[in-house]
């Protein structure tokens, strides 16, 4: 076989070139720590890396969501603990009040503390989270949900929030509720004293949330256990009077009158142990209907308690009955608080499980990512020294081969 002089040089140069490319690639892999310096190094691994990184990013976001959700739930738990404490104190006051040993003076003293606790409870119901959002307002969390108002003689709480509950994404398929429904918590205290007004505003007149001020009278009506109470207050424009009609005959004949008087805007209207108040200027004949409901709100329970304490017109028995019901209603409110705290506990458990799942997932994904992407240093460095040895050998061979030529011997 023939060989031309150029071939010797070309082969040598080519060998050096190839070897140097290999060494440069290894150097890049070692110095950057990644063997995937560009997608074409390994198309399959590169696509996998993009997808895995997105999944890891997603999981890390979920972990952040979880930690924020946890903070929020802990704040709620703390607030609920505070509310429980208030309710506990009120319960003690109710027990203390429910004793014939009390004089009106001592009842008044208890009433003063109830008022304090009442204000405290409203403030707790309007708790703001670190973001400045009202905790128990539902979706409309930028405005105060519970405000004190008075309609006529009745002091009550107006709720301007809603039932909306915020969810937080804690995994691709799972959302966790991070809101406590303030409406359920504060406004749905199951009680036999619950009263509903069908329409609160008619012909420009407004009726206050009615309240049972004497439960002994209210519950002891003739047919109370067989029919539900329902009363219609008819206001006569021409005569300027009102007449309360017993719609279901809970106390006597169906349609019988249980109370009547002159309509004075903003004054109390009392019948069968119920007190209500209507405000506004009379312009036409107007009717309101009050019927037996399922719930009182917790503020109403406290208001009623305070009223009973201060009301010197009630007999000892009547007061005792009211205090007994107050205790029952407070326990019912405790039930609501407990429900909420149980729900929070359950959610915190879910978050914890999700967090550990997510962390395990991220850990596993990072392992795979590292396998796909990171340089195996031991392997790369031993490969580097092998390639260097080959290069040196090639250089040595080249210099020996090119050293001798026939011309050297031509003298």
Partner 1 sequence: MPDLLNIGTTGLLTYQRALSTTSHNIANVNTDGFSRQRSEIQANSPTFKGDLIFGNGSRVASISRAYDNLLTRELRDNQASFSRAEVFSQLASTIDDVLADPQGGLSPQIIEFFAAVQDVAEDPASTTARNTMIDIADVLTNRLTNFDLRFQNIEENTTQQIRDVVGEINSLVEGIRDINLALQDTNGAGILTKQSADLLDRRDVLLTQLSERVDITVVNEEQNVISVFIGNGQALLNGNNAFTLGTQNDPTDPTRDIITYSGLIAQGDISDQISQGELGALLRFRDGVLDPTRNRIGRLAVGLAETINAQMRDGMDLNGNLGTDFFSYQAPVVYNNLGNTGGSVTAAITDVTALTIDDYSATYNGASWPVTSTSGTSATLAAASGNLAFEGITFALDNTGAAIGDSFTIRPTLAATRSLSVVMTDPDLVAAAAPIRTDTSLNNLGDVTISPGRVTDVTNADLLTTVTIRFNDPPTDFDVVGANPAQNGVAYTNNMTVSANGWEITLSGVSPQGGDEFTIESNAGGQGDNRNMLLIGALDSTNIFDGGTATYQEDYATAIGFVARQTQAAIIDSEASEALLIQTREQRLTVSGVNLDEEAADLVRYQQAYEANARVIAVAQTIFDTLINSTR
Packing angle between helix 298-310 and helix 316-373, nearest 10 degrees? 150
Query: Taking CB under 8 A as the rule, does residue 33 contact partner 1?
Result: no
The stretch near partner 1 (CB under 8 A) out of 50-58, 253-261, 324-332, 388-396 is 50-58
DSSP of 261-318: EE--TT-EEEETTEEEEEES---S-EEEEEEE-SEE-HHHHHHHHHHHHH-TTS-HHH
What token pair was written down for 176? 């966790």
Q: Give CA–CA dist 171/355, Å, rounded.
A: 9
Query: Taking CB under 8 A as the rule, does residue 225 contact partner 1?
Result: no
By CB under 8 A, the residues from 328 to 357 that bind partner 1 are: none
Closest CB to partner 1 among residues 128, 150: 128
What token pair was written down for 322? 């009211």
**165 near 158, Cβ under 8 Å?**
no
**123 near 103, Cβ under 8 Å?**
no
Instruction: Choose, by CB under 8 A, the member of 16, 53, 368, 398 that binds partner 1.
Output: 53
* Min CB(61)–partner 1 separation in Å: 5
Closest CB to partner 1 among residues 11, 248: 11
* Min CB(44)–partner 1 separation in Å: 7
By CB under 8 A, the residues from 59 to 78 that bind partner 1 are: 61, 64-65, 68-69
Q: Where are the beta strands (DSSP E) in 223-266?
A: 230-236, 241-246, 257-262
Closest CB to partner 1 among residues 67, 382: 67
Q: Give CA–CA dist 258/243, Å, rounded.
A: 8
Q: Give CA–CA dist 333/354, Å, rounded.
A: 32
Query: Taking CB under 8 A as the rule, does residue 406 contact partner 1?
Result: yes
* Min CB(144)–partner 1 separation in Å: 12
By CB under 8 A, the residues from 116 to 175 that bind partner 1 are: 131-134, 137-143, 162-169, 172, 175
Q: How would you classify the pairing of strands 189-190 and 295-296?
A: antiparallel
Question: From residue 243 to residue 282, what is the string marking binding to partner 1 with x (rule CB under 8 A)?
Answer: ----------------------------------------
Instruction: Choose, by CB under 8 A, the member of 33, 57, 335, 345 that binds partner 1.
Output: 57
* Min CB(346)–partner 1 separation in Å: 19
Question: From residue 198 to residue 217, what is the string marking binding to partner 1 with x (rule CB under 8 A)?
Answer: x-------------------
Closest CB to partner 1 among residues 91, 166: 166
Q: Give CA–CA dist 319/305, Å, rounded.
A: 9
Query: Taking CB under 8 A as the rule, does residue 188 contact partner 1?
Result: yes
Q: State the number of binding residues for partner 1 (CB under 8 A).
A: 66
Q: Give CA–CA dist 135/340, Å, rounded.
A: 13
Question: 204: which residues sit within 8 A by CB, 6+ positions away?
Answer: 280, 281, 283
Distance of CA 31 to the CA centre of its chain: 49
Interacting residues with partner 1 (CB under 8 A): 1-7, 10-11, 14, 38-44, 46-48, 50-51, 53-54, 57-58, 61, 64-65, 68-69, 131-134, 137-143, 162-169, 172, 175, 183, 187-188, 196-198, 293-295, 297, 405-407, 410
């Amino acid at each position: 076989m023939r060989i031309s002089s150029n071939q010797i040089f070309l082969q040598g140069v080519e060998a050096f070139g190839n070897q140097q490319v290999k060494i440069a690639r290894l150097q890049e892999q070692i110095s950057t720590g990644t063997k995937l310096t560009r997608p074409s190094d390994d198309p399959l691994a590169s696509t996998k890396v993009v997808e895995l990184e997105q999944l890891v990013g997603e999981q890390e976001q979920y972990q952040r969501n979880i930690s924020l959700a946890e903070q929020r739930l802990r704040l709620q738990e703390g607030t609920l603990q505070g509310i429980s404490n208030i309710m506990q104190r009120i319960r003690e006051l109710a027990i203390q009040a429910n004793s014939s040993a009390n004089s009106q003076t001592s009842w008044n003293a208890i009433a003063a503390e109830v008022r304090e606790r009442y204000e405290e409870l409203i403030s707790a119901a309007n708790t703001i989270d670190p973001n400045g959002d009202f905790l128990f307002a539902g979706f409309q969390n930028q405005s105060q949900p519970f405000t004190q108002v008075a309609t006529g003689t009745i002091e009550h709480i107006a709720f301007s929030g809603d039932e909306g509950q915020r969810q937080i994404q804690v995994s691709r398929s799972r959302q966790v509720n991070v809101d406590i429904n303030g409406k359920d918590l504060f406004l749905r205290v199951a009680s036999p004293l619950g009263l509903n007004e069908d329409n609160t505003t008619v012909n420009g007149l407004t009726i206050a949330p009615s309240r049972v001020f004497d439960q002994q009278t209210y519950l002891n009506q003739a047919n109370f256990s067989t029919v539900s109470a329902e009363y219609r207050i008819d206001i006569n424009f021409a005569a300027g009077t009102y007449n309360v009609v017993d719609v279901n005959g809970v106390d006597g004949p169906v349609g019988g009158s249980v109370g009547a008087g002159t309509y004075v805007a903003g004054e109390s209207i009392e019948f069968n142990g119920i007190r209500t108040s209507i405000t506004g200027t009379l312009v036409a004949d107007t009717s309101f209907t009050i019927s037996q409901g399922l719930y009182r709100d917790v503020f109403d329970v406290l208001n009623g308690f305070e009223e009973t304490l201060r009301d010197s017109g009630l007999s000892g028995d009547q007061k005792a009955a009211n205090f007994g019901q107050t205790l029952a209603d407070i326990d019912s409110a405790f039930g609501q608080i407990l429900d909420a705290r149980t729900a929070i506990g359950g959610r915190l458990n879910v978050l914890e499980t999700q967090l550990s799942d997510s962390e395990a997932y991220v850990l596993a994904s990072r392992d795979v990512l590292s396998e796909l992407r990171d340089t195996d240093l031991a392997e790369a460095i031993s490969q580097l020294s092998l390639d260097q040895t080959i290069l040196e050998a090639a250089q040595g061979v080249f210099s020996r081969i090119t050293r001798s030529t026939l011309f050297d011997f031509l003298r």
